[in-house]
Chain A
Amino acid sequence: MDRYWRQMWGIARYELRMQWRRGMLRMVMFILPLASVLVIFLLAGMQAQLSASQTQWSAAYPAEFRLTAMAIFILLPAAAPIFAALPLLLAETIPLDGKLNMRDTLDSTPLPLWVYLAGKVLGVWLGVLIALVICIPVVGAVFYWKLGAFNVWVWLQVWGAVVVPSGLLSSGMGVLFAAAQPTRRRAILVNFLLIPVFVYLYSVSPLLQVTVLASLAPEQAFDLDANGKITALRLMSGDVMALSAGLMVAALAVAGLLAWGGIRWKAGRA
């Protein structure tokens, strides 16, 4: 087991390095904040109009409360297109090894296929995590500037519970789903099929439903102290988190099995 773990970690480390040098990671790092900032600008304009027409609604709540609900509401549509783009950007991860003629060399080592797949996914995840960590302060600063002083702690909780896991889900599935494709072009095409899968997954994900609800019915969303200040995001209960995590793991497991079976099947056919 120790050897498998070291092989996996070795693949992940070098995958990260190669993604960076190929420019893929830099692209993800660049696109992620850029896309979200663009969407924020679009939505913030709409949101300003919306809240102006809802002065009653707004007036009923303290400013921090309103702004935080708004920041969460904008964050989700801002993140969604990025998560649709990640599988397309990362589709080539495993087919590239075939294109570079590395398959035989890799298969001549005592490296189980599942360790290889897990290592590749882990490497991509490290890259996406780094990109997201860079993304957070950039998007946060733009929010602060466009909206005003929202509750950063609660907002970070939404990142941690919804946005980051969604990024890991779509990048991991993007890598695995296209794993058995022979060319980069086919890999990207196949991953277009993932977009409706994500739309479905996100729409049934209890965490996402709860977060959307939080922004529509903010009075149910937050724990408040005696002075009306937000202390926590109430709706992210343990049950909801567990259900969402289960859904995510199941989706990744299905994609992993598809990758494993696809590669096995191709090798057996020769």
Chain B
Amino acid sequence: MIEIHNLSKTYAGGVQALTGIDLKIESGMFGLVGPNGAGKTSLMRILAGLLRVSSGSVSVFGQDMGTAAGKQTAKALLGYLPQELGFYPTLSAREFLDYMAILKGVTDKRLRQTQIEQLLEEVRLTDVADRRLKTFSGGMKRRVGIAQALLGNPKLLIVDEPTVGLDPEERVRFRNLLSGMAKRCTVILSTHIVEDISHSCNDLAVMSKGRVIFRGAPAELVQQARGNVFTVLLRDEPPDGGLSVVSTLQMTDGVQYRVLGKPDGRYEAKPIEPSLEDGYIWLMQHAAQPTS
């Protein structure tokens, strides 16, 4: 279990990236969403023991991340996929995973090999495992990064935008892989793709400008937009009057807009079921007002 108490982070340059974060994260899959610069990466790097806090406290499985000993113990239980991936271009995928496994303390050679083969299989890279990483495509590199994070059976898996650059098929496969992991350990996942979360997380937080502005189950986020989602069919002009368009669909007799807000009498609006994305956008637009 992870406990974050009144956490703030100000970078050396003076940017306040996190302000007064209070979170308790239980086992299972936890989603972290928010716009660019919200502070997701900063929070995850603090949880991984890579970044010092400015004030407040963080404990990971009872280890105080403010102390060197606590960090060291927690890191032995951690799998981390950074947002900006690093690689050794001259190593093959198999060699890179072997290197990372040794660093993670999987010192038994047999065990290491079994784990690596299994993970290569899971991210479907077995066929290219002996090719140098510099010859890999962006998505293939990300899959190596995912495999690297899963080495050593971590108790806490922190993955920062893991689905960026994955094709739809791989994205689904990866979601399933994470769901499987979440049965055994705590998974913290950040993403811009709300869909990633709706499929797998039982708990999520929405961050904005360094604060947590929503915390709850995906269904509760959907709930935020209930009664405020409509479709309107228009022939030429897009809708105005305080409505925001979430998506458009070309029809034979015009354009169907999916809008958030309260359409006035001019439009022939049909109320519809909100999606998680509607809830998220609704929340972001009304973030200034206090929620829950």
A226 within 8 Å of B by Cβ?
Answer: no
A268 at the A/B interface (Cβ < 8 Å)? Answer: yes
Residues of A within 8 A of B168 (CB): none
Q: How far is the CB of A123 from chain B (nearest CB, A)?
A: 12
- Does A108 have its Cβ within 8 Å of any Cβ on chain B? yes
Q: Which of A6, A101, A103, A105 has the most CB of B within 10 A?
A: A105
In the assembled complex, the CB of B63 is this many whole angstroms from the nearest CB of chain A, namely 12
Shortest distance from the beta carbon of A101 to any chain B beta carbon, whole Å: 3
Contact A14 B86 (CB under 8 A): no
Known contacts A100-B89, A105-B86, A109-B104; A10 and B50 CB within 8 A of each other: no
A110 to B154, CA, bound (A): 12
In the complex, the answer to whether A100 meets B86 with C-beta atoms within 8 Å is yes
Q: Which residue of A lies closest to B154 (CB)?
A: A108
Quick one: closest B residue to A20, CB to CB? B90
Contact B99 A14 (CB under 8 A): yes
A110 touches B87 (CB 8 A): no
CB distance from B14 to the nearest CB of A (A): 13
Any A CB within 8 A of the CB of B128: no
Is B78 engaged at the interface, CB distance under 8 Å to the other chain?
yes
Alpha-carbon separation in the docked complex, A268 to B53 (Å): 10
Q: What is the 8 Å Cβ interface bit string for chain A, positions 91-103, against chain B (1 contact, 0 not)?
A: 0000001001111
Partner of B99, one of A6, A10, A21, A107: A10
| Residue of A10, A18, A108, A270 touching B75 (CB-CB under 8 A) | A108
Q: A110-B75, A110-B105, A270-B52 are in contact. Are A104 and B11 (CB under 8 A)?
A: no
In the complex, B36 has a CB within 8 A of chain A: no
Most chain B beta carbons < 10 A, residue from A18, A103, A110, A112:
A110
Judge whether B85 is part of the interface by a CB distance below 8 angstroms: yes
Whether A102 lies near B103 (C-beta < 8 A) is no
Q: B82, B88, B91: which contacts A104 (Cβ < 8 A)? A: B82
Contacts of A112 in B (CB 8 A): 72
Chain B, residue nearest A19 (CB) = B90
Question: With the chains together, A98 CA to B102 CA distance in Å?
Answer: 20
CA distance A110 to B68 in the complex (A): 11
Q: Do A14 and B95 contact each other (CB < 8 Å), given the known contacts A108-B78, A108-B80, A270-B52?
A: yes
Chain A contacts for B91, CB-based, 8 A: 14, 17-18
Contacts of A213 in B (CB 8 A): none
Tell me which residues across on chain B come within 8 A of A105, comparing CB atoms.
80, 82, 85-86, 100, 148
Cβ of A133 within 8 Å of any chain B Cβ, yes or no, is: no
A17 to B91 Cα, complex, angstroms: 8
A156, CB-defined interface residue at 8 Å: no
Closest Cβ of chain B: how far from A50's Cβ, in Å? 47
Contacts of A268 in B (CB 8 A): 52
Residues of A within 8 A of B135 (CB): none
Interface residues of A in 73-125 (CB under 8 A from B): 97, 100-112
Contacts of B45 in A (CB 8 A): 104
What residues on B are CB-neighbors of A18 within 8 Å?
88, 90-91
Task: Answer whether residue B107 sits at the interface, using C-beta atoms and an 8 A cutoff.
Answer: yes
Q: Decide yes or no whether B253 CB sits under 8 A from chain A.
A: no
Is the beta-carbon distance between A102 and B88 smaller than 8 angstroms? yes
Cβ-defined contact, B51 with A111, below 8 A: no
Question: Is there a chain B Cβ closer than 8 Å to A225's Cβ?
Answer: no
Whether the pair A106, B103 counts as a contact (CB closer than 8 A) is: yes
A108 contacts B48, C-beta separation under 8 Å: yes
Report the Cα distance A18→B89, complex, angstroms. Answer: 9
How far, in Å, is B255 (CB) from chain A's closest CB?
A: 43
CB <8 Å contact, B50 and A109: no
Q: Is the CB of A22 within 8 A of B90?
A: yes
A101 with B102: CB separation less than 8 A: no
Known: A104-B80, A112-B72. A10 touches B103 (CB 8 A): yes
By the criterion CB–CB under 8 Å, are A108 and B49 in contact?
yes
CA gap between A109 and B81 in the complex, in Å: 11
Expressed in whole angstroms, the minimum distance between the Cβ of A16 and any Cβ of chain B is 12
Interface residues of B in 62-98 (CB under 8 A from A): 72-73, 75-76, 78-80, 82, 84-91, 95
List the interface of chain B (C-beta within 8 A of A): 11-12, 45, 48-52, 72-73, 75-76, 78-80, 82, 84-91, 95, 99-100, 102-105, 107, 148
Query: Could you list 16 further interchain pairs (A-B, Cβ under 8 angstroms) beyond the known A17-B90, A102-B86, A110-B72?
Result: A6-B102, A6-B107, A7-B103, A10-B103, A14-B95, A18-B88, A100-B89, A101-B86, A102-B88, A104-B80, A105-B148, A108-B49, A108-B79, A111-B103, A112-B72, A270-B11
CB<8 Å pairs between A and B, sample of 7:
A6-B102, A18-B90, A97-B86, A101-B86, A104-B86, A107-B50, A108-B49
